[in-house]
């Protein structure tokens, strides 16, 4: 019986050699094992450069898999899924207490990509980890039978792409089991952000719960529950969305519930947005078209947009007033998603209309190209009571009233938004009070008095043309029906003032404001200047003011010269320097545009009581035909001024029509004039004095 141990030893040796040979030859027959494992499942796998297995796993260079589904009963579409894993590691462990041999498999890789056709949806994730449970029931033949029980895949920081659109930061837990017929059950889906090409869109924070199991009563409907997303940081939600695979229709109500506007635009040193938005927006999606019908968005009381410039705060109250209309109501929108070869290429706005604070707002059709990131449309506003909601506080304070109408052609691209030839008109006006800086009398420091004062500005029927470059440069061509300046001493009226205001033209100097092409009716004539640059920080500006066609009689009435009357008009060129709330006139010029008549009225009693010299004055100016009237004016920042007047002409009734020349110098404080808007009769006294001096007998 010595041969029996030898035979047994030989059998063990053959078994060991067989196992070793199988291990050594594994890379050559590993594909056969894969084919057997996937037989009859509709899955095709290709394993590249597998390693030799260890006690608990093996590695491979690449694994390709392809799955083709049968035609969908609702859409008739046959879908193919192709996946690819790179540099993977397959590990396993035996599962105890199982009725049949079973193993827990874990597949890890550097990356996985999945491509679905014909929808052209691409998925990618780094460091994926798949877990599967395999059972080994009794089979026939040399190789054991393999029956997969479950497959789990936790998506973390995944990426989904279709055309130019891309979802980043995707999270979803997939679990497919044989007991559930390999159908994904409802799970929470989330995506951090949405990109169009290389650009991040304002849509983010997608969340929804969904699976692929269908309701037998609605076999062609997918149900999404507890859905929400963020737009410009504002979260909107809807409890449920049902999507019909057959009609490609989805309908839901997007709810806004006290959404804080601070998230829309964080507050800065100059701009702040406060308040909450609420509302309900019914949305319908059908065959690549999105419709909103009778949507409503309301702003809570206290909803405010405010901007600060210098010592003035401009605010816009968007909150609902008691008994008033909501922010937006009757919102109706139709949007189409344009696709080429199944790839989304553009978002098309077919129509938009709504009630804005009770007024009307509409938009022309527009098309947003996903490749260029550009779109253009024209927004029309009709009688929206926007002026009622504007307030000023600080150095300038006041309120406005009235409705705005107009058109705003807007163009959007990746550099920002632009306006071109926008036109806005207002039915109404406003009153603005300006606080002048405090000044103190220096006559007696001990008893100095506060001479601060205010100026009221009233305007009506504004009309504005707007142009805004994508860089931020803003140009406003403004025109008013009237602008009135009122003080405690009187008022000054500008009729049809108009000009061009330019802001943010220089990024390095955002406080610079340029006013150009200004003109207005003043004192029955016109006032204008070509250009003035005003810096809100330094409060400095220089310009040259032009006066034309101002009647001399109007100036005399303004100055309180009750005994003088004149015909003719004057023109002037007056340089003005504004510096820290004060202004000065270095050297201005004024002259008559043509000849005229000056009459100095005196009563018989005045002439009888006057001396011989003064009677000559009355006679010379009783009917004076001037041929030349030239004057100069200078004023220092404290208001002290000097006005020099040269007057040449004749009186046909005085000394045989001999020539008369007058040189007058008037010194007074023009700031006092502007405060009271009237001169004293000092000019009459100066004329009397000069004529009297010229008619004195010359010493020999």
User: For residue range 181-195, what is the model confidence (pLDDT) as tens digits?
Assistant: 778 889 999 999 888
Nearest to 379 by CA among 435, 324, 421: 421
Residue with tokens 């004076």: 624
Closest listed residue to residue 647, CA positions, set 567, 591, 570: 591
Q: How far apart are CA 202 and CA 683, in angstroms?
A: 68
Treating both helix axes as pointing N-terminal to C-terminal, what angle do 682-694 and 612-620 enclose, rounded to 10 degrees? 110
Q: Provide the token pair at 308.
A: 């600060």
Beta bridge partners of 92: 105
CA distance 522 to 502: 24
- Given this model, what pLDDT does residue 233 score? 63
Whether residue 593 is predicted with pLDDT greater than 50 in this model: the reply is yes
Determine the pLDDT at residue 623. Answer: 84
What does the pLDDT read at residue 683? 46
**Predicted confidence band at 170 (pLDDT cuts at 50, 70, 90)?**
very high
Q: Would you mind telling me the total number of residues written for the chain in this entry?
A: 700
State pLDDT tens for residues 670-687: 666 555 444 334 444 554
pLDDT at position 156, please? Answer: 92
State yes or no: pLDDT of 119 exceeds 50. Answer: yes
Burial bucket for residue 106 (CB in 10 Å: 0-12, 13-18, 19+): middle
Higher pLDDT residue, 14 or 307?
A: 307
pLDDT, mean over the chain: 79
pLDDT at residue 581 in the model: 67
- How confident is residue 123, by pLDDT bands cut at 50, 70 and 90? very high
In angstroms, what CA-CA distances link 106 with 81, 109, 146, 218?
A: 21, 10, 16, 36
Average pLDDT over every residue of 649-673: 76
444 has a pLDDT exceeding 60: no
For residue range 214-249, list pLDDT tens digits in order.
777 888 888 888 988 876 666 778 888 888 877 778
Q: Residue 222: its pLDDT value, please?
A: 82
Peptide bond into 86 cis (omega under 30): no
What element of type H or E holds 173? strand 165-177
pLDDT of residue 641: 80
Angle at 407 between CA 405 and CA 408, to 5 degrees: 125
Query: What is residue 656's DSSP assignment?
Result: G
- The pLDDT, as a whole number, for residue 141 is 53
Look at residue 401 in the predicted model and tell me its pLDDT: 85
pLDDT of residue 21: 54
Share of the chain above pLDDT 70, in %: 80
Least confident range from 189-203, 364-378, 379-393, 679-693: namely 679-693
| pLDDT over threshold 50, residue 294 | yes
- Nearest residue to 494 via CA among 477, 481, 508: 481
Residue 65 main-chain phi, psi, to 5 deg: -135, 145
Of residues 400, 437, 372, 434, the one with CA closest to residue 582: 437
Distance CA 59, CA 375 (A): 51
Question: What mean pLDDT is predicted for residues 376-405?
Answer: 86
Structure tokens at 444: 């007696």
SS (H, E, C) 284-303: EEECCEEEEEEEEEEECCCC
Per residue in 630-640, pLDDT (tens digit) is: 888 888 887 78
Per-residue pLDDT band at 699 (split at 50, 70, 90): very low
What local confidence, expressed as pLDDT, does residue 493 receive?
84
Residue 621 CB neighbours (<10 A): 25
Q: What percent of the chain stands above pLDDT 90?
A: 14
**Quick one: which of 458, 504, 501, 494 has its CA closest to 478?**
501
Nearest to 61 by CA among 73, 47, 77: 47
Q: pLDDT by residue (tens digit) across 311-346?
A: 778 888 888 888 889 999 999 999 888 877 656 778
pLDDT for residue 441: 43
- Which position has the higher pLDDT, 538 or 61? 61
* pLDDT given for residue 446 in this prediction: 32
* pLDDT value for 695: 45
pLDDT of res. 144: 59
The pTM score is 0.60
pLDDT band at 613; cut points 50, 70, 90? low
Confidence at residue 445, expressed as pLDDT on a 0 to 100 scale:
35
Pick the closest to residue 212 from 202, 203, 220, 222 (CA basis).
Answer: 222
Q: Are 646 and 630 in contact (CB under 8 A)?
A: yes
How far is 361 from 405, CA to CA, in rounded Å? 9
117 or 55, which is more confident: 117
pLDDT given for residue 678 in this prediction: 41
Q: Tell me: the pLDDT tens digits for 445-474?
A: 333 334 446 778 888 888 888 888 887 788
């Amino acid at each position: 019986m010595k041969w029996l141990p030898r035979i047994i030893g030989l059998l063990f040796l053959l078994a060991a050699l067989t196992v070793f040979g199988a291990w050594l030859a594994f890379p050559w027959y590993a594909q056969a094992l894969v084919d057997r494992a996937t037989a009859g499942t509709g899955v095709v796998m290709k394993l590249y450069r597998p390693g030799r297995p260890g006690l608990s796993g093996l590695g491979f260079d690449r694994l390709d898999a392809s799955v083709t589904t049968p035609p969908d009963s609702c859409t008739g579409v046959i879908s193919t899924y192709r996946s690819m894993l790179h540099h993977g590691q397959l590990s396993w462990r035996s599962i105890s207490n199982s009725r049949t041999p079973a193993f827990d498999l874990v597949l890890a890789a550097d990356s996985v990509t999945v491509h679905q056709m014909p929808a052209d949806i691409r998925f990618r994730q780094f460091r994926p980890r798949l877990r599967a449970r395999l059972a080994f029931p009794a089979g026939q033949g040399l190789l054991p039978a393999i029956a997969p029980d479950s497959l789990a895949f936790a998506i973390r920081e995944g990426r989904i792409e279709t055309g130019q659109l891309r979802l980043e930061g995707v999270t979803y837990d997939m679990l497919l089991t044989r007991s559930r017929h390999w159908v994904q059950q409802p799970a929470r889906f989330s995506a951090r952000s949405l990109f169009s090409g290389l650009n991040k869109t304002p849509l983010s924070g997608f969340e929804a719960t969904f699976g692929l199991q269908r309701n037998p009563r609605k076999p062609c409907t997918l149900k999404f529950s507890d859905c929400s997303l963020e737009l410009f940081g504002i979260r909107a939600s809807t409890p449920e969305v049902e999507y019909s695979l057959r009609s490609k229709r989805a309908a839901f109500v997007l709810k806004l519930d006290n959404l804080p506007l601070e998230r829309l635009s964080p507050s800065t040193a100059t701009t702040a947005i406060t308040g909450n938005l609420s509302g309900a927006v019914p949305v319908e999606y059908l065959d690549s078209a999105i419709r909103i019908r009778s949507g409503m968005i309301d702003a809570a009381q206290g909803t405010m947009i405010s901007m600060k410039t210098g010592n003035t705060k401009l605010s816009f109250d968007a909150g609902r007033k008691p008994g008033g209309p909501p922010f937006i109501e009757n919102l109706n929108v139709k949007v189409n998603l344009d696709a080429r070869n199944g790839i989304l290429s553009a978002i098309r706005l077919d129509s938009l209309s709504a009630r804005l604070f009770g007024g009307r707002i509409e938009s022309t059709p527009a098309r947003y190209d996903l490749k260029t990131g550009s779109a253009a449309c024209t927004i029309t506003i009709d009688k929206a009571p926007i002026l009622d909601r504007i307030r000023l506080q600080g150095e300038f304070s006041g309120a406005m009233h009235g409705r705005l109408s107009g058109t705003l052609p807007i163009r959007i691209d990746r550099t920002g938004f632009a306006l071109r030839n926008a036109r806005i008109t207002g039915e109404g006006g406003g009153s603005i009070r300006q606080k002048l800086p405090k000044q103190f009398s220096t006559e007696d420091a001990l008893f100095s008095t506060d001479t601060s004062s205010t100026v009221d500005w009233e305007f009506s029927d504004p009309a504005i043309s707007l142009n805004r470059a994508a860089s931020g440069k803003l140009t406003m061509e403004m025109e008013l029906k009237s602008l009135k300046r009122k003080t405690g001493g009187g008022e000054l009226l500008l009729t049809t003032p108009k000009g061009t205001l330019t802001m943010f033209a220089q990024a390095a100097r955002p406080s610079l404001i340029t006013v150009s092409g200004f003109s207005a009716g003043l004192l029955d004539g016109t006032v204008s200047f070509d250009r003035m640059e005003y810096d809100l920080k330094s409060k400095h500006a220089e310009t040259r003011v032009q006066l034309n066609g101002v009647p001399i009689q109007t100036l005399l009435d303004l100055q309180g010269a009750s005994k003088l009357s004149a015909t003719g008009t004057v023109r002037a060129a007056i340089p003005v320097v504004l510096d820290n709330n004060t202004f000065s006139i270095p050297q201005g010029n004024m002259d008559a545009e043509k000849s005229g008549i000056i009459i100095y009225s005196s009563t018989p009693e005045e002439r009888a009581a006057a001396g011989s010299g003064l009677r000559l004055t009355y006679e010379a100016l009783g009917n004076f035909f001037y041929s030349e009237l030239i004057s100069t004016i200078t004023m220092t920042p404290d208001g002290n001024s000097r006005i020099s007047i040269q007057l040449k002409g004749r009186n046909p009734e005085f000394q045989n029509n001999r020539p008369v020349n007058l040189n007058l110098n008037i010194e007074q404080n023009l700031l006092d004039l502007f405060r009271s808007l009237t001169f004293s009769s000092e000019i009459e006294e100066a004329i009397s004095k000069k004529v009297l001096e010229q008619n004195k007998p010359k010493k020999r």
